[in-house]
């Protein structure tokens, strides 16, 4: 007990990192398995980047695989107090945070600042046009486009157009600012907290290692 009391490693931080990442590890592994099964069942073939990123199952598979690998580094690093795994976890979380921030900024530019997206050479209409071309071939794509089209279900196929999709996305974000902001905070804040906790645990492990070295080489 005395050894635990004198330890520089905070057990709350250690086991909080372990528990949260272990749960994410299990859930993401299950989701990845389910998405693989769905893609196999519908005999999904990916011939272009549009086939991948315009398919919900593919996106969920990518996200779940990333979460699976990152959370593995987190829980194994915290449980074993492994600095290498914890550093990998910390830097991966930091990089993912900045990548997601850039993606969110680009989405807002594409949706709300047409002049800026034209200067950057970003044309969402091209992607939406490709999605519409694949509309009849993929039931998942039909559901995605139909949910963004505010048309009569009996005539919606003929009425689909790229401006309607883009306008529907813009209207949705304008009418649900609080919801969108809440979702973004719900995604970003936990990542920032977990990255900070991993950095804190690394520092504590180094302090504990320094204590052990001082004890080992203390003159007798």
Torsion over CA: 161, 166, 170, 175 (sign): positive
Q: Which residue pairs from 50-56 have beta carbons closer than 8 angstroms and sit at least 24 positions apart in sequence?
A: 50/127, 50/130, 50/131, 50/134, 51/134, 54/127, 54/130, 54/131, 54/134, 54/141, 54/144, 55/138, 55/140, 55/141, 56/140, 56/144
For residues 56 and 140, the answer to whether their CB atoms sit within 8 Å is yes
In a domain, 79, yes or no: yes
In a domain, 216, yes or no: no
In a domain, 219, yes or no: no
Sequence-separated (6 or more) residues with CB below 8 Å from residue 140: 42, 55, 56, 57
pLDDT at 156: 47
In a domain, 218, yes or no: no
For residues 70 and 92, the answer to whether their CB atoms sit within 8 Å is yes
Q: Which residues of the chain have pLDDT under 50?
A: 1-3, 150-162
| Whole-number Å distance between alpha carbons of 54 and 136 | 14
pLDDT at 44: 73
In a domain, 220, yes or no: no
pLDDT tens per residue across span 32-41: 999 899 888 8
| Whole-number Å distance between alpha carbons of 127 and 110 | 12
Residue 138's domain spans which residues? 2-210
State how many domains the chain has: 1
pLDDT at 1: 38
pLDDT at 179: 85
| Cα distances (angstroms) measured from residue 50 to each of 9, 61, 117, 150, 173 | 47, 15, 19, 23, 23
In a domain, 124, yes or no: yes
In a domain, 217, yes or no: no
**Residue the block writes with tokens 């990998």:** 88
In a domain, 168, yes or no: yes
pLDDT at 170: 72
pLDDT at 154: 44
- CA-based diameter of the chain, in Å? 89
For residues 89 and 210, the answer to whether their CB atoms sit within 8 Å is no
pLDDT tens per residue across span 40-96: 887 777 776 767 776 778 889 999 999 999 999 999 999 999 999 999 999 999 999
């Amino acid at each position: 007990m005395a050894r635990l009391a004198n330890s520089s490693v905070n057990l709350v931080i250690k086991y909080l990192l372990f528990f949260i990442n272990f749960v994410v590890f299990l859930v993401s592994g299950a989701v990845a398995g389910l998405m693989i099964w769905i893609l196999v069942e519908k005999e999904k073939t990916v011939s272009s980047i549009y086939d991948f990123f315009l398919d919900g199952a593919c996106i969920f598979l990518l996200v779940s695989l990333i979460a699976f690998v990152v959370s593995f580094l987190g829980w194994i690093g915290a449980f074993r107090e492994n600095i290498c795994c914890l550093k990998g976890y910390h830097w991966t979380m930091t990089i993912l945070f900045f990548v997601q921030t850039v993606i969110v900024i680009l989405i807002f530019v594409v949706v709300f600042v047409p002049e800026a997206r034209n200067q950057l050479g970003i044309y969402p209409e091209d992607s939406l046009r490709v999605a519409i071309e694949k509309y009849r071939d993929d039931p998942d794509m039909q559901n995605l486009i139909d949910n963004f089209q505010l048309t009569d279900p009996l005539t919606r196929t003929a009425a689909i157009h790229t401006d309607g999709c883009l306008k529907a996305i813009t209207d949705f974000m304008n009418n649900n600012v609080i919801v969108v902001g809440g979702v973004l905070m719900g995604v970003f804040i936990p990542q920032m907290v977990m990255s900070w906790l991993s950095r804190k645990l690394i520092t504590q492990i180094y302090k504990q290692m320094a204590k052990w070295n001082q004890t080992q080489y203390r003159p007798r």
